[in-house]
Amino acid sequence: MERTILEKLPGALLPWYRENKRDLPWRKDRNPYHIWLSEIMLQQTRVEAVKGYYARFLSALPTIEALAACDDDALHKLWEGLGYYSRVRNLKKAAQVIMTDHAGQFPTQYADILALPGIGEYTAGAICSIAFDQPRAAVDGNVLRVVSRILDDATPIDQPAFKAAVRAALEEVYPVQAGDFTQALMELGATVCGPNRQPDCAVCPCKDFCLGYQHNTAEQLPAKSPKKQRKAEDMTVFILSCDGKYAIQKRPDTGLLADLWQFPNVPGHLEAQDALTALEQWSLHPRALHRQVLRKHIFTHIQWQMLGYYLEVAEPAGDFVWMTGSEINATAALPTAFRQFWEEISNV
């Protein structure tokens, strides 16, 4: 890659970052626990959505020791609505490793950080550079977009070899202020050179040496490989009520949305009469069908088409846990796919 171009990045970005960086809560200090938590939360999630979760999480679990000892249901409840729940399960696993293998102290070496559950090269690079000022690049979609435009490189950015090449090239030009440089690259890619919109080249600190700007190709970059079509799955969801209580159950402890709570459900879309018959098989006796709705939820590779039936039953039977609304709100982490049905309860 063009080192002569990339080596101009620190001189352009560092003063720009000092003047233009957003005031974000995880930038208040360089505590590696705080940086680690923020980077995990920010994966696939908007900054504005993370702010509240970040504050609540640290208020409840202010230390790595507290995270390692947290009850799983309480942990999932803190994460409820953020999605990608494997992230928080790996946070706890990594905290437990830190407690047992590192005497409760966050490791400082890249290899040790990379070995923690749920931490990949991007997160390890972010922690090493931001917390410890080590010249380790944190290369995500934002950074790949910036580099592909600056170099006018149409290589698909989702190719692992391209990401590895960008990481290696950036680490060759890292300045002493490694943490600020990492965050400056992230900031540029999230704002001026942001995703899904026209780049604001007129105010970009890199426009004097950006080949994409000079060649008028920045708007066409970055390139990506064609997406694979999502698999569609139909599901019938039962929102069952009885005397102010609702039926929920735990999902299996492995697989998609592992160990979270859900409303009872079966594969396929059942007609109303077939749905009532399904209740009989669960030893439940329907009193009334209040409502049916169609909803969907999109995962990375799967889309659920969800038909929901709001039903009142005669008694809280079946192989379910029956909770009041306040109990569900306080203790049961419903992933967004099922929480969308719960949020409509007040309209039933």
- CA 166 vs CA 2, 3, 122, 178, 262: distances in Å: 10, 11, 12, 16, 41
DSSP β-ladder status, 245-250 and 321-324? antiparallel
- Pick from 165, 131, 164, 219: nearest CA to 2: 165
DSSP β-ladder status, 302-313 and 286-298? antiparallel
Candidates 2, 39, 172, 344; catalytic one = 39
- Pick from 176, 183, 136: nearest CA to 24: 183
- Mapped onto helix, strand or coil, the DSSP state of residue 280 is helix
CB 173 within 8 A of CB 185: no
- Pick from 3, 21, 8, 7: nearest CA to 208: 8
- For 36, list phi and psi in degrees, rounded to 5: -60, -50
* Crossing angle of helices 86-101 and 72-79, rounded to 10°: 130
The single-letter code of the amino acid at 11 is: G
Residue 217: other Cβ atoms inside 10 A? 15
Does residue 271 have an active-site annotation?
A: no
- Pick from 48, 40, 53: nearest CA to 24: 48
State the catalytic residues.
Answer: 39
